[in-house]
Amino acid sequence: MDNPKPKVISISFKKYYQTVDWVTRLKAVAHQFIMIMQLF
């Protein structure tokens, strides 16, 4: 019998890492935006 669970886990990990990558980019952009706003 083949266990389909590891495949599901790897897919969810892929989605999780994509989300983390997106959040990291968003934080970096927000940080740059705050730095620019502090100049004015």
pLDDT for the residue numbered 33: 94
pLDDT value for 39? 84
Strand runs labelled E in 1-40:
none
pLDDT at 10: 86
pLDDT tens-digit readout, 1-40: 566 677 888 888 889 889 999 999 999 999 999 999 998 7
Alpha-carbon distance 36 to 1, whole Å? Answer: 58
Spatial distance between the Cα atoms of 38 and 26, rounded to a whole number of angstroms: 18
Region of residue 18 (left: phi > 0; alpha: psi -120 to 50; beta: else): alpha
Tell me, yes or no, if the pTM score tops 0.95. Answer: no
> How high is the pLDDT of residue 4?
64
Which amino acid appears at position 39 of this protein? L
